[in-house]
Amino acid sequence: MSQAKPTSIFSALTGALVSTVSVVTTTADAANSLANAANQLAKVAENKATRFNELIEIKDQAAYITAKHELDQLLAAVNADPVKAKTK
C-alpha cells in the first residue's frame, strides 16, 4: 500500500478550494450582471412611461388648440353678424 504524500493531498484540497471559490465568484458575478440588466430594463420602462405621458399631453394640447381655434372662428362669425348667428 502506498502512502499519499501530504503535499499532494494539500495541493488537491487547495485546488478544490480555489475551484469552489471560482464557481462562487462566477455565480456572484452572474447575479450582479442580472441585477444590473434588471435595473437597466427598469430605467428603460420608466423612460418609456414618461415619454408616453408626454405624448398624451402633446395630443391633449393639440386637441385643445384645435377646439379653441374653432371656437374663436365661431365667435368671430357671431360678432361679425349677430343677426345671422341667432337665426341659425
Reported as a single tens digit per residue, the pLDDT across 11-53 is 878 888 888 878 778 888 889 999 999 999 999 999 999 999 9
Report whether 54 contacts 62 (CB < 8 A). no
75 in a structural domain: yes
Which of 9-18, 53-62, 63-72 is predicted least confidently? Answer: 9-18
Can you give the pLDDT at residue 87? Answer: 58
Domain range for 75 is 6-87
31 in a structural domain: yes
1 in a structural domain: no
- Which of the four pLDDT bands, split at 50, 70 and 90, describes residue 59? very high
81 in a structural domain: yes
Structural domain count, the chain: 1
What is the per-residue burial (b if ≥16 Cβ within 10 Å, else e) of 49-82?
Answer: eeeeeeeeeeeeeeeeeeeeeeeeeeeeeeeeee
